[in-house]
Structure 1
Amino acid sequence: MWRFILIVGLFAGQVLGQPLPEGFGLAKEHAGDRGIGHDPAVLFAEDFETGDVQAIAKRWGEMSNKGGDAVSLADDSAPGSGGKRAIEMTASLDHNTGGHLYTTFDGVDQMFARFYVKFPEDAGYVHHFVHLGGYRPATRWPQGGAGERPRGDERVTAGIEPFGRNGKVDAPGDWNFYAYWHEMKKSADGKYWGNSIWPVQRQAAPRGRWQCVEVMMKLNEPGQRDGRMALWLDGQLVMDVHQGVRRGRWTGMGFDLLDEAAGGGEAFEGFDFRTDERLKLNFFWLLYYVTDRAVQRHHEPAGRRHVVWFDNVVVARRYVGPIFGR
């Protein structure tokens, strides 16, 4: 009898996954994010409060700032931080497609990446946004690979992106994961574009205010399907993707998560992100990428200036959560 209970319990734990935290996390130990970069659980932290853009780029390791006006400093800051500055990224399609900051760190099997983002009231749509993941070997710059399925021992990436659903929702769009891994599905054109994963409830990226966004990615044990991804918005868990959750039809476009109580769909097989344990998570890419294609796909007027602000980035081994009040 006890053996039966133990087996059932292990199976349920594998299907349901361990509960994830919400609300304040590691940040509660560092009011206003003060000193958070020195916490042993933190892999990287940036509040944009010191140095000019070039000094910030040096701290990160790699920056894209075409023409010198794609990345700049702004007089704004995330609420509760006590700061005075944020980083501004601008896409002016007559001469650039936005900018980025990219950093690397020693590889880990699980990482949490928290950042604050603010879109203007007249926000436009984007093509690609913030990414994290792992390259083997690690590189000091972001790699390509669009339209290609990676091998299970060389690359795994996931973006957290607002997508405008071809102009059907207000800009900048609804949050979704955009992932590349060796078991992704093929698109209708025969290529492998990122598979999008959507939460049960629509999560629109707000305009005109700061939002705390946090992503967790956990790699699988090779040969197992115990990988996991999760998304928190303002400290609330809004998406948790792991083996056993209900999903809709999975195509080269990705899949939607379904309400467990409503039934339907089928159980997600689970993430087999890697086939080799030497593939680790080792980069974070603060990216703002806008193209003519994104503008046209969303039926947006040409010629507009696109802008976004970021602040208080923390990449850690533990859940970070929103800034804790000072």
Structure 2
Amino acid sequence: MKNRLVRGTMSNHFQSTLAALAVIVAGCGDPSSATGDGGAPAGGSSSSMDGGVSPPPDGGGAGDGGGGDEDASVPPPGTLSARYPGDEGIRDDPAVLFHDDFEAGWGRWDGPTADTRTLHIEADPAAAHGGQGYLRSTVTTADLAEDMYISSSTWVTHERVDAIYWRFHARFPELAPNPHHWVRMAAGTEEWDWSGLANTVPAGDEGFWFDFDTNTDDVFNFYAYWYKMRSGRCNDGTATPGCAGDQGTTYYYGNVFEPPGQAPFPRDRWFCIEMHARANTVGERDGALAFWIDGAPIGDYRPGYPDGTWLRAQFHTAGCEFSACTPPEPFEGFDFRSSEDVRFKSFMLDAYYERDSDARRRAEMEERGLTVSDARTILYDDVVIATERIGCRR
């Protein structure tokens, strides 16, 4: 079995996910699986976050920028981007753990250390977000005909910390299927290096991880693995034989958190992605995840917020309308780890494609009447990892 690891190796994650989905379809017909593939489920959430999101503790979450009319060209006061216009000097700030604007070629990532078949650092001031350097990932239909699993990935290991922020700018210049999984963040002990194992519950004293994914609707979700994650076997997320909604087999795929009411990300222009994650106090459920797009708060998951309904391995913000759905309750927060030695340690820009998943997404787009490119290109620029909120580069 191949697995998508923190070092950028390829996996059969999607193949395993398809098997789980087939079990669900054959079982009770409930489409609310935790595969994280495709759009919001039918009869899903009925409300949106257009009015803004209240901030999580420590002043670090999705409400810092206010409502959805945020101007990404003006970073919120107190952020690193506000202190370093154009990111000039940002690399030397003590809060910054990693920075790459791709102006100096390869050398700042653990890997790769040179251009690959799918990854190229290019210099073009007309194409870059800032300066002239940027990273291009391109995976073609011909590539996928040759290799079933392609992980077009950079990766870096940084100083281990309990709470962290990431920011990068991305551009999707062509209309093509989005990656099956995308950006990866992993936490672990110094020795642990096993993020990306499909259908695997990580040990609480070893590590956890989550992907930041986008589907054919061009909206985003977190896809998380941790030692208290829920199974897709039972309606209540347990794996007890004979439970309500029992699917007959036990499986653990990433638990899905997809904020409702998202506008599709813009095609063929640069946009800014920021994320925040906080590990829990051991024994408590005070861990959190949040993200912003172009400075606007979109997703925010922390103790007591938002209200929603767990069904199997997906948290439906504001509730859901399947027959097995229970009334919404405040989100309990994340118990990500059972040891303080598990800390955030690595980051991947990983456009991960699987041949069958890609073909299904392509067919869905063509059924909508879209003309789909054979090149799946993503551009990246101005990557920062820090212990403070960063803000979009001006």
TM-score of the two chains, using structure 2 as the length reference: 0.68
Q: Distance in 1 between matches of 2:338 and 2:332?
A: 16
Which residue in the other structure is 1:174 paired with? 219
Whether the 8 Å CA contact 2:309–2:318 is kept in 1: the answer is: no
Whether the 8 Å CA contact 2:80–2:390 is kept in 1: the answer is: yes
Which residue, 255, 259, 273 being the options, matches 2:336?
273
Q: CA deviation at 1:202?
A: 2.0
Return closer, same or farther for 1:293/1:136 CA change in 2, 3 Å cut-off: farther
Return closer, same or farther for 1:256/1:88 CA change in 2, 3 Å cut-off: same
Asked if 1:208 is matched to 2:261, the reply is no
Q: CA deviation at 1:213?
A: 0.2
Q: CA deviation at 1:273?
A: 0.6
CA deviations on 1:14-36 (whole Å, 9 max, x unpaired) are: x9645532243211111111121
Q: What fraction of aligned residue pairs are identical, expressed as a percent?
A: 30
Q: CA deviation at 1:120?
A: 1.8
Secondary structure of the residue aligned to 2:264 is coil
- Residue ranges of structure 2 left out of the alignment (5+ in a row): 1-54, 66-74, 234-248, 320-326, 367-371
Which residue, 357, 364, 371 being the options, matches 1:294?
357
Whether the 8 Å CA contact 1:137–1:154 is kept in 2: the answer is: no
Root-mean-square deviation over aligned CA pairs: 2.4
How many residue pairs get aligned? The number is 289
Q: CA deviation at 1:183?
A: 1.1
Aligned-partner residue type, residue 115 of structure 1: F
Q: CA deviation at 1:138?
A: 4.2
CA deviations on 1:188-211 (whole Å, 9 max, x unpaired) are: 452211111011322422211111
Which residue in the other structure is 2:136 paired with? 88
Return closer, same or farther for 1:65/1:49 CA change in 2, 3 Å cut-off: closer
Return closer, same or farther for 1:303/1:233 CA change in 2, 3 Å cut-off: closer
Q: After the TM superposition, which residues 153-164 of structure 1 pair with which residues of structure 2 at under 5 Å, given as runs?
A: 153-164=205-216
Aligned-partner residue type, residue 94 of structure 1: A
Secondary structure of the residue aligned to 2:379 is strand
Asked if 1:151 is matched to 2:168, the reply is no
Secondary structure of the residue aligned to 2:357 is helix
Whether the 8 Å CA contact 1:64–1:99 is kept in 2: the answer is: no
Which residue in the other structure is 1:240 paired with? 300
Secondary structure of the residue aligned to 1:99 is strand
Asked if 1:111 is matched to 2:168, the reply is no
Whether the 8 Å CA contact 2:175–2:373 is kept in 1: the answer is: no
CA deviations on 1:281-304 (whole Å, 9 max, x unpaired) are: 011111111111321332537992
Whether the 8 Å CA contact 1:225–1:270 is kept in 2: the answer is: yes
Aligned-partner residue type, residue 38 of structure 1: D
TM-score of the two chains, using structure 1 as the length reference: 0.82
Whether the 8 Å CA contact 2:195–2:208 is kept in 1: the answer is: no
Aligned-partner residue type, residue 59 of structure 1: R
